[in-house]
């Protein structure tokens, strides 16, 4: 290991979990679950095992119910077949010495009627159609018009989160990450651009953060708080999401999350997969307002990651696309080796090509 990388490879205690380095594999949707069951399988287990040298793996987003699904062939965390499929993944990762959290997901309005139970409309805080696309078997397609959730329906979704968290425990995961970013259901409740409700879940910031906090409370009734994190994207416009005052919104939300004692916040700094400076926001202040760990995400390279850890701006650094093309990313970062480039045409759907066949340094 080169001396300059020492900070990135120092061990870290995340809650009660010992991590051997500060490198996190970010959640990466790959659309390769089994057709018909949306369950992980042997190829998925190999994919995660190849990357198990990360300090922590966070699984691709996993829907909590059929209603929560927004894309074709994404895995779920609610059926017995899915539990058994994820067990193959977690057993494989643990056998390789790794640690893995599942990311729990409800897409809300970012869906299509063909994916919804009975062909019904997707659900959202308010009946506002997102200007975005989803992936169906036929390719990229405009999302469908959503309907606004009735207040009494929210309790059922919270129950789905609890069930999904229980399923994750049965599947052998080491913890859970709540997906509250990128314009999906929780984020839709948070933002005043997508939440126009006039009940206890809409209006001011206190009401708009209610659903996110209730989801966290539902999950932490199943899992220890030390094994639960949450992903946030304060200024990302992903999936047509926006808010008039993200600094006030996420400042208040993170204070409440900190009081709940979660293990970490996982923060997309800037536009998801895009510019880091798309909107003025003080991520360092957000980091210091949270008592748990701070996972920084979005466009980090080796130098940026090392500097962020050394400055104390982050505890852990999440890498996304570099992990797709580099199963041995940890070792490449350790020695400063060049990285393989992602084959974009194989990102979503398919088999082993562009999934488990990227070469490690020893094979190149």
Q: Tell me the catalytic residues.
A: 184
Of 166, 173, 175, 180, nearest in space to 230 by CA: 180
Give the side-chain half-sphere CA count within 13 A for 98: 28
List the beta bridge partners of residue 295.
266, 316
Comparing CA positions, the residue from 209, 224, 102, 94 lying closest to residue 164 is 102
Tokens 């080169």 correspond to what residue? 2
Task: Find where tokens 């119910």 sit.
Answer: 65
Residue 324's Cβ-side half-sphere holds a number of Cα atoms within 13 Å equal to 18
Q: Over the range 253-287, which residues count as b (16 or more CB within 10 Å of their CB) and which as e?
A: bbeebeeeebbbbbbbbbbbeeebeebebebeebb
Distance CA 307, CA 52 (A): 24
End-to-end CA distance of the chain: 20
CB under 8 Å to 251, separation ≥6 — which residues?
Answer: 285, 286, 289
Nearest to 274 by CA among 313, 233, 245, 244: 233
- What is the helix (H) or strand (E) element at residue 297, kind and residue range? strand 293-297
Query: Contact 96/140 with Cβ under 8 angstroms?
Result: no
Which tokens is 234 given? 């304060």
The residue among 314, 318, 278, 313 whose CA lies nearest residue 299 is: 318
Burial annotation 18-38 (CB, 10 A radius, 16+ → b, else e): ebbbbbbbbbbbbebbbeebb
């Amino acid at each position: 290991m080169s001396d300059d990388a020492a900070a990135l490879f120092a061990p870290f205690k995340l809650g009660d979990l010992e991590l051997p380095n500060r490198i996190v594999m970010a959640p990466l949707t790959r659309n390769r679950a089994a057709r018909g069951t949306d369950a992980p399988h042997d190829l998925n287990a190999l994919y995660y095992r190849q990357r198990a040298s990360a300090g922590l793996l966070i699984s691709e987003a996993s829907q909590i119910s059929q209603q929560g699904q927004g894309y074709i062939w994404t895995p779920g965390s609610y059926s017995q077949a899915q539990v058994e499929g994820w067990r193959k993944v977690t057993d494989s990762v643990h056998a390789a010495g790794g640690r893995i959290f599942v990311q729990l997901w409800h897409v809300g309005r970012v869906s299509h009627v063909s994916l919804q139970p009975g062909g019904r409309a997707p659900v959202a805080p308010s009946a506002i159609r997102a200007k975005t696309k989803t992936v169906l078997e036929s390719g990229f397609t405009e999302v469908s018009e959503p309907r606004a959730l009735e207040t009494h329906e929210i309790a059922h979704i919270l129950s789905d989160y609890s069930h999904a968290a229980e399923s994750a425990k049965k599947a052998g995961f080491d913890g859970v990450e709540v997906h509250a970013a990128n314009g999906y259901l929780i984020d839709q409740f948070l933002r005043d651009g997508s939440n126009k409700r006039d009940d206890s879940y809409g209006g001011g910031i206190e009401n708009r953060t209610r659903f996110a906090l209730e989801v966290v409370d539902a999950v932490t009734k199943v899992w220890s708080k030390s094994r639960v994190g949450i992903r946030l994207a304060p200024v990302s416009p992903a999936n047509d999401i926006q808010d008039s005052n993200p600094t006030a919104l996420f400042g208040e939300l993170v204070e409440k999350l900190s009081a709940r004692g979660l293990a970490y916040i996982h923060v997309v700094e800037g536009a998801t997969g895009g510019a880091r400076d798309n909107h003025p926001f003080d991520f360092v202040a957000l980091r210091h307002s949270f008592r748990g760990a701070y996972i920084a995400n979005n466009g980090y390279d080796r130098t940026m990651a090392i500097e962020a850890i050394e400055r104390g701006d982050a505890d852990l650094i999440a890498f996304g696309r570099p992990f797709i093309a580099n199963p041995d990313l940890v070792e490449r970062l350790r020695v400063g080796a060049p990285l393989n480039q992602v084959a974009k045409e194989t990102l979503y759907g398919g088999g082993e090509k562009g999934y488990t066949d990227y070469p490690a340094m020893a094979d190149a």
